[in-house]
Amino acid sequence: MALTGCSTGSATPAGADPASGVAGFEPGTKFGFAAPVAAQPGQQQFDAGAQAAAASVGWDYTMYDSNLNPSTQISNITTMIQQQMDVIGSWTLDPGATVGIYKQAEAAGIPVIGVNSEGEGIQATLWQESSTCAPGGPMEQSAALYAEAHPGGQIITVGLDGVPSIDSVVKCFTDAATAAGLTVVSHVSNTTDQAAGAQRLVADLLTRFPEVDGVWAYNDASALGASAAVMAAGKTVYDMSNDGVVVTGTNGDADAVTAVREGRLTGTWDPNNPQAGWLFVWLANEVLKGTAPASTVLKSTFVTKESVDEYVPPADRQITFDALDYTTSN
């Protein structure tokens, strides 16, 4: 996603008092979110952030679990329409399947916000930077890391095919890797969305490509599974100082951060999920006021062995509307 006409600033609503966190918001607003899969740690952190932000302004917020099933997501949004939510958020699993229900929400006068999703029926989108493809962004930075560790190296990518936001990031990294002189020798879809599934897939590929130099994974569970496969094959994981296999993920999960500390994972992109939950509530309010930008992008942070000591666990982060690091564009 290319950002043009960007502006940067705090997420304090016009006329709001950051100390109170209430002015500028209409108390009693009902806000629902159709999450892609609630079992994912990052989504739980996002939900915790949105819950805290909503509570601070007197909103009624509910997350619905779509469990990676487009039909369930449609059912959840139908429920939100029936409950006459003031605004609906959705991380689209299948744009072809959900466009109809988004139009139903629009017909009912309920705006829809996309999370890492855009398209027909979505009024505004909240992006986490690690899900974007801006020049010089996370995927180009990741590709540069792989290329620096192993110039001209061979890479495996692990995705979850069929989910638009994930597909676009896989393509973004693949294009960046190719531009950096790397070769993507294979791609697999981890349909289990779990570490064990990724471990099996990557273990099989390592027998076919024993000289592979890196494994890029769309999330931390898959990255941890890939790391386990790499070590089971008698290889080491690159830790910014050795010549091991580069393995990276995304989500900033606690297990992934621990793995970075222990040298079992090269890095993880932390999308700053709790902050995203806060920014989600701010954006919903802007949509209701008619002042929302088309695109809002929250800064992501890359956690490696070199920066892991600066990492703050999500539960310990002190978050306010006026302390969010984001850009906007129309």
- The DSSP annotation for 114-143 comes to EES--STT--EEEEEGGG---TTSHHHHHH
More confident: 256 or 21? 256
- By the 8 A CB rule, do 92 and 165 touch? yes
Note the Cα 277 to chain centre separation in Å: 11
Residue 17: its pLDDT value, please?
38
Structure confidence at residue 106 as a pLDDT band (50, 70, 90) = very high
Structure confidence at residue 20 as a pLDDT band (50, 70, 90) = very low
Strands 246-250 and 214-217: parallel
Segment 32-48 mean pLDDT: 93
In this predicted model, what pLDDT tens digit does every residue of 174-191 receive, in sequence order?
Answer: 999 999 999 999 999 999
Phi, psi of 201 (to 5 degrees): -65, -45
Structure confidence at residue 24 as a pLDDT band (50, 70, 90) = confident
Residue 314 burial (C-beta neighbours within 10 Å; 0-12, 13-18, 19+): buried
Distance CA 307, CA 260 (A): 10
Quick one: which of 292, 265, 266, 268 has its CA closest to 280?
292
Does the pLDDT value for residue 250 go beyond 50? yes
More confident: 5 or 289? 289
Q: Which domains does the chain have, with CATH numbers?
A: 7-131+272-329 (3.40.50.2300), 138-270 (3.40.50.2300)
Residue 9: its pLDDT value, please?
43
What percent of the chain lies above the pLDDT cut of 70?
93
Segment 149-161 mean pLDDT: 97
**Residues forming beta bridges with residue 184, ordered by sequence position:** 155
In this predicted model, what pLDDT tens digit does every residue of 203-229 receive, in sequence order?
Answer: 999 999 999 999 999 999 999 999 999
- Which of helix, strand or coil describes residue 31? strand
- The DSSP annotation for 86-123 comes to SEEEE--S-HHHHHHHHHHHHHTT--EEEES--STT--
- The DSSP annotation for 258-291 comes to HHHHHTS-SEEEE--HHHHHHHHHHHHHHHHHT-
Structure confidence at residue 164 as a pLDDT band (50, 70, 90) = confident
- By the 8 A CB rule, do 263 and 305 touch? yes
